[in-house]
Each structure stands twice: as C-alpha cells, then as structure tokens.
Amino acid sequence: MKNTDQLDALLRSLYLSSFVSNYKDFAEKAEKQKLGHINYLHELTHTECSERQRRRTERLINQAKLPRGKTLDGFDLTKQPTLSPGRLKELAEGNFIDQCENILIFGIPGAGKTHLASALAREWCLRGRRVFYATAALLVQELLMAKRDLRLNQLIKKLDRYEALLIDDISYIPYNREETDVLFVLLAERYEVRSVVITSNLVFSQWDTIFKDPMTTRAAIDRLVHHATILELNESYRQAEAKKRKKAKEEEKPPEN
Ligand code: ADP
Ligand code: MG
C-alpha cells in the first residue's frame, strides 16, 4: 500500500495509537521473519494492550499525587520487625480495597509512615487502583473551602471516585471545631464504602486532641478500626540513619593520642 494516510486515520479513529506507530516496522519484521498474518496481528495487538496498560498506570500514579521517590523497593524492612515481607506483599496486593477496609499506620515522626503509605499506594496504582494522597492539613483546608462554597457534598463525591484515600499525618495540626467536623463527615461518608489509609504520630488515646470532644473521637475511631489493619512503626528511621552516619564518621577519624 503506497498511501497509508487513510489507514492511519482509521486506526486513530479506533484509538489504536500503538498500531499507528508500529504497524509498518512490525510488517517489515514479519516479512523478514516469515511470521504470517496472525502472528503479525497478534504482536501488534499485544503491543497496543501493553502500551495502554502502561499509560493507564502512569495516569493513575500521576492522579494519586504521591510524594516522589517513595517505593517499596526503597523501604528497608530490617528496621521494622513488626512488618514481615509477606505482610508487606499482601498489603501491596491491595485486596483490602475490595472489602472497603482501612489501614492505619502509627509511629513516631521519622518512622517511615509517609514512605510506607506512599510506597503501598504506588503498588495499588500499578495494580490498576484509583488512589489519592493528601496531607491531612491540606485536605481539611480543601474540605473547609468546599463547605463554605456549599459544595462539600460535591467534593466528597469526587473523592469517592478514589478507591483508597490516603490522609497523611492526621495528628499534625491543631484543628478547630469546624475543621474537625468536615474531617469527621468525610470519614463517616467513606465508612464501609471506600478505603481510607491514615498515618498518625498520636496513638488513639491521644486522638481527643484531633476530634476535640470524646463522643466524636469515639465515633471516628470506631468507624476507622471496625475493618482495619493497624501497623505500628516504632523506631525513627531518620534518627537511626543519622546515628549510623555519625558512627561511620567517628570510625573514619584517626585515633587521637
Ligand atoms: P514519618 O512520615 O513517619 O515521619 P517518613 O516516611 O517521612 O517518616 O520518613 C523519614 C525519612 O526516612 C524519609 O526520607 C523516608 O524515605 C526515610 N525512611 C523512613 N523509613 C524508611 C525505611 N524503612 N527504609 C528506607 N527509608 C526510610
Ligand atoms: Mg510523615
């Protein structure tokens, strides 16, 4: 075929962009290797499917707004004796999302909560899940603005599109009553409908400082833990790394006499 413009246009109208970029090269190869029509078509279709899958995952990861560079491969498990590789792998599969269950990650600052949550979320995206990451501080501000503009419901519906919502550092800022209320509404709306992943420096007994009155605190905790996996990271990775660096530096120094 001399003029392939029409074929290109037809393929594009079917959204087969990978066909468009590959069919000529693949045809040459198929001819040389005597692959036959069916194998040629199979190879083209296979490439189209993998390309689509790659683009979809890329889109999911971009939409998730995850902190950069936090992967599961880069997460050192030796520092976290409560987390086995098997457990981590199971969490990475993301099956809890189908049951609308939650994950709560506790630990002191620097323990790796944000890293772990983001790395897991990345894995879920790779498995085709729609995920969204936000710090609690920013999320609460967004919710508050939405409430003031009478579109809180709309925003909650929009967040509903995400199968797992990561709320990082729920205990970081001192909330006022209005902020607590919108956060509570969001959690209540997602209860048993969508998953939530929360990280916190504060243990439950200190959550009064987040939700202010004991009733709301109790109601929030009850909903979150009803179907939840709780992970506790207790050593500060940041501090351990700093100690390691200090020790290495000291060992480099020649002994003083
Ligand atoms: P947290 O959210 O608990 O305060 P972060 O996840 O921000 O802690 O971790 C602090 C820093 O230490 C980050 O740069 C993170 O990538 C790194 N870090 C923490 N835990 C680990 C770990 N187990 N393996 C590798 N890096 C880690
Ligand atoms: Mg953090």
Buried b or exposed e, range 207-237, using 16+ CB within 10 angstroms: beebbbeeebbebbbebbeeebeebebeebb
Closest ligand 1 atom to 80 CA: 23
Which residues have their alpha-adjacent CB atom under 5 A from ion ligand 2? 114
> pLDDT above 70 covers what percent of the chain?
96
Cα of 108 vs centre of ligand 2, distance in Å, is 9
Q: Does domain 77-241 have CATH number 3.90.470.10?
A: no
**pLDDT greater than 60 at residue 257:** no
- Which pTM was predicted? 0.87
Closest ligand 1 atom to 169 CA: 2
User: Residue 180: which pLDDT band, with cuts at 50, 70 and 90?
Assistant: confident
Residue 239 Cβ inside 6 Å of ligand 1? The answer reads no
Cα of 88 vs centre of ligand 2, distance in Å, is 18
Cα of 115 vs centre of ligand 2, distance in Å, is 7
Domain-wise residue ranges, the chain: 2-64, 77-241
Q: How many helices (H) and strands (E) does the chain have?
A: 11, 5
Rounded to the nearest 10 degrees, what angle do helices 37-64 and 113-126 cross at?
A: 150
Closest ligand 1 atom to 117 CA: 6
Mean pLDDT of the chain: 91
Taking only the tens place, the pLDDT of each residue in 201-221 is: 999 999 888 888 889 899 999
Closest ligand 1 atom to 70 CA: 16
Residue 237 Cβ inside 6 Å of ligand 1? The answer reads yes
Residue 114 Cβ inside 6 Å of ligand 1? The answer reads yes
Taking only the tens place, the pLDDT of each residue in 101-151 is: 999 999 999 999 999 999 999 999 999 999 999 999 999 999 999 999 999
- Closest residue by Cα to atom 20, ligand 1, is 112
Q: Write down the pLDDT at residue 106.
A: 94
**pLDDT greater than 90 at residue 36:** yes
The secondary element (H helix, E strand) that includes residue 84 is: none
Q: How far is residue 168's CA from residue 188's CA, in Å, rounded to a whole number? A: 17
Average pLDDT of the residues in 173-187: 85
Residue 107 Cβ inside 6 Å of ligand 1? The answer reads yes
Average pLDDT of the residues in 2-29: 94
- Residue reference for tokens 């202010």: 212
Q: Does residue 197 or residue 239 have the better pLDDT?
A: 197
**pLDDT greater than 90 at residue 235:** no
Cα of 105 vs centre of ligand 1, distance in Å, is 13
Average pLDDT of the residues in 15-37: 96
